[in-house]
Structure 1
């Protein structure tokens, strides 16, 4: 049983929605960021980059307070307003390749604590606490956690009916995406959606593990500091974007390594031969067609690597993941890379970029070898989460990626 609630969103006025909405801060190049801050006074980037107002870079707690100040200024200037009644918000994105549609709502911190909202990645304590402090100071969250649920005909029909009406927002972006937002505040419809989620035994985090963990820490601290705690306070929930499993798009991350850990090319191939059947493909760009098949680019040539299954023992859901097999049989024992998050010898390219990008990076001399594989499936993610295991870092790159600033959840 999962608790998914409507909430009163703070959001931009209809005429400014497209101007306010921004991609995640780290997605912008320096030139793009400067242009947005210079020429678009309504961009949400002004809130999350508050030092721009003073032409000064500000970090730490002082930055958190300035973020809150910029946010309050947007409200004072009537760029933002708060809905008077709780609602669910349908968000739809049409890209050049895919269409995504789901519900923005408040998910329960208690469900996360009780493993009704299940994770498949480890989190870093330092990042959890940093974002918790950020949330505590600014008092709002604008980046929904991406949750996925089993396809529901009932919810699907509600979304189709609601989206036949005029949206609250409709705007296009420079990367040829179109974004839509509808509001559902009808009490009967809200009750039906809520009831559907209550029948689901669990939900799964697709993206946003640190945001979940930080929200949990904030709720725990707030509860401890509130003698009148009732369980209905806004800090007991976190904003989420819930999307059916069938609409998730999961890409792989390729691995790039700077050196062969002292091995010559010939010695390196001999080491791999213990666990993989190797075929030199020359200049033929090889894409894996099956699980446990990998591609490798080394010194101007492509290779296919097929796991020798007669040698390898599958013990649990983690051991079947190609990202784990690559780590367990090549990256760690042969190339000496144990810390996949922090080792400077490894870099990642998400699978939306073509395999040719691996070739380009290796040919440039920056990296010595690159590896690719098929994407992990939603069933694999769920199985790992159900078993209480965690995937290696950078196992999945999942879409959709939402714009910031369209719905804001206040604590």
Structure 2
């Protein structure tokens, strides 16, 4: 008989409590799948005394450092979140030769290289399927199933809160504030929704995905980030008129310059995508990620991207993998950053744009605006103009151009006498 593998759980909130419940109620199944008994040996929390149904009271402790340092602990599950004390606790676990399962996207997007290095030095595992897209199996397929392929692009909806808000704006005609209020009431949005609506959450996930997909170290600071707070009902209506829908997308892609040198970009921003694209049909708080690879072609991963039970499912999947490695006396795949590709700035990204301008309703204004676009090398695809009481709304959809060229165009338009304002700028993707 194999000895019992003991697990320390750091955090007992929505996800942690589900992990504890499943470990307790499915203990026999976990043992059969792992090949050894697995036991929850302690649960570290910030404040004791709160009711935690299904979690034995004798396992609760506020001494997370002491729990991690115990000699009998084999695996540490970290679902605390944030940078500290999670970082210090994980490093302490590695120093003790313990493997780690984490759901901490913010930490991995900033300190992933250091954590992988510490795991490798200790001969331990670092698994984090739950850090991106909840229950959707995504990290493991990228890291293992597609390890022999070349991934060129990862395009996805990786934040359920923003997808719910944009979906409500699209299907009901609600404004941003109204849709956010409903998301908060239903529990999809936090009391402080900044991390979601400003794109920080999605940017951290994009950094993790880009790093794995392109075998290159990518951190959160490398990811261009733009949230959904400026998306208006007019933007949603314009998208509909184009046969599109607005989604907050995480886009990681590989490209080549004129010399054949490869580089990568990672970005998060709202974009219009055609209704024919598979991501356009992703509704509510669901997530979906579209992967394009040389040999495998186009793959799509879809499912619930957040919530206690779905995220706990991903955590337990990692736990089984890590414990199997312990039983076999081996470790799983670590960091793969051999490619060391350059991470390009947003200025170099090439895409199409939807630009909405408020202009004076006078003869010749359209020609003047078109000239500004042409002077900066931005080709216009379509123009739609609607006049109203001496003013007009001018909607320009461009052909593909660099972000730098579009930014220079808009900067000049803002100084133009007949341009009253730039109402919105949105990228057009997925065509």
Q: What TM bracket, shorter-length normalisation?
A: under 0.3
TM-score normalized with structure 2 length: 0.27
Higher relative contact order (CA 8 A, sep 6+): 1
Q: Give the structure with higher Rg (CA).
A: 2
TM-score normalized with structure 1 length: 0.28
